[in-house]
């Protein structure tokens, strides 16, 4: 029997809906072996108004019962709940998830504003770059099923770190597809003919037939988004580098643009 996966699910008590928890419960029902959950309740002070005038910061016992315990128990899931008062939101998640032996972190993404662009606090970017396991960004309004998994790779990469990252993305993408008995597709963007990836190598290393390998012209964010929409992908697996860079230098990279362009749930693998 397969080992039960350990999911670390972040819940911000200031939110009126808990997308990460809802998705974890829903997708758990699609799997043969139900995961074990740790629900981590903490306020992201960079994204939330922490003044006393914010009524959503006051939660009583009934809130924990109806919003967290009841849905988990109705789903028949094994779980623990941990509440953090730390002002170091990102570090507290990393420390607690490591102690739990987490396989994946489920992180909720807030509704976007009037623009379609993605808004992310520095602490969230830092979490993506430093987590020991993949972080799944749960987007409001994203498809809730798990029928199609799309992995975004860069087979033009020549640096060792990027090549290893491609392998990690494929490994996690295949594992996710097998877990949910979903279709697995791969997309590789290129800007022009001088930048065209080796399609034969893509076929060899992915083990996929031609119809599930999508070599798409355009900037990475635009190309990945187009293919995800065309396939009706439910989750996109992508990678990010740059753990050694300064936080302020991390914002304008390709990973940030890809995340900003997608409406699906996104699994981010770092290297």
Proportion of the chain above pLDDT 90, given as a percent: 64
Q: pLDDT-based confidence at 246, cuts 50/70/90?
A: very low
Asked if pLDDT for residue 244 goes beyond 90, the answer is no
Q: Which fold has domain 6-138?
A: Rossmann fold (3.40.50)
Among left, alpha and beta (phi > 0; psi -120 to 50; other), residue 42 is: beta
> What confidence score (pLDDT) does residue 120 get?
65
Taking residues 68-90, what's their average pLDDT? Answer: 95
Collapsing DSSP to helix, strand or coil, 5 comes out as: coil
CATH 3.40.50.620 positions along the chain are 6-138
DSSP 242: -
137 within 8 A of 104, measured Cβ to Cβ: no
CATH 3.40.50.12370 positions along the chain are 148-270
CB atoms within 10 A of CB 110: 18
Q: pLDDT-based confidence at 207, cuts 50/70/90?
A: very high
Helices (H), the chain: 19-28, 61-64, 70-74, 89-100, 122-130, 160-180, 199-206, 220-231, 254-261
133 within 8 A of 107, measured Cβ to Cβ: no
> What confidence score (pLDDT) does residue 68 get?
96
> What confidence score (pLDDT) does residue 100 get?
97
Cα–Cα distance, 54 to 67 (Å, whole number): 19
Asked if pLDDT for residue 220 goes beyond 90, the answer is yes
> What confidence score (pLDDT) does residue 195 get?
87
**Nearest Cα residue to 199 out of 186, 184, 218, 180:** 186
Among 3.40.50.2300, 3.40.50.150, 2.40.110.10, 3.40.50.12370, name the CATH number for the domain at 148-270: 3.40.50.12370
Asked if pLDDT for residue 38 goes beyond 50, the answer is yes
If one compares 30 and 80, the residue with the highest pLDDT of the two is 80
Contacts with 170 (C-beta within 8 Å, 6 or more apart), sequence order: 151, 153, 186, 205, 206
């Amino acid at each position: 029997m397969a080992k039960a996966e350990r999911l670390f699910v972040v819940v911000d008590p200031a939110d009126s809906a808990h997308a990460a928890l809802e998705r974890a419960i829903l997708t758990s029902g699609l799997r043969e072996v139900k995961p074990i959950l740790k629900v981590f309740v903490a306020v992201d002070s960079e994204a939330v108004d922490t003044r006393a005038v914010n009524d959503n910061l006051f939660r009583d016992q009934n809130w924990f019962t109806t919003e967290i315990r009841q849905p988990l128990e109705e789903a028949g899931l094994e779980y623990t709940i941990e509440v953090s008062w730390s002002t170091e939101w990102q570090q507290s998640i990393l420390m607690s998830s490591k102690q739990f032996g987490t396989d994946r972190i489920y992180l909720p993404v807030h509704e976007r504003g009037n623009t379609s662009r993605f808004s992310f606090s520095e602490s969230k970017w830092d979490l993506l770059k430093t987590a020991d396991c993949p972080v799944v960004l749960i987007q409001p309004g994203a498809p809730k099923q798990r029928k199609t998994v799309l992995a975004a790779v860069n087979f033009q990469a020549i640096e060792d770190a990027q090549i290893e990252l491609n392998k990690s993305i494929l490994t996690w993408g295949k594992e996710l597809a097998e877990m949910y008995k979903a279709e697995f597709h791969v997309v590789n963007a290129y800007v022009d003919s001088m930048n065209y990836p080796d399609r034969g190598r893509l076929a060899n290393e992915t083990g996929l037939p031609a119809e599930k390998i999508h070599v798409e012209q355009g900037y990475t964010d635009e190309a990945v988004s187009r293919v995800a929409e065309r396939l009706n992908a439910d989750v996109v697996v992508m990678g990010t580098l740059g753990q050694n860079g300064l936080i302020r230098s991390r914002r304008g990279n390709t990973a940030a643009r890809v995340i900003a362009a997608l409406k699906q749930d996104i699994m981010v693998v770092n290297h």
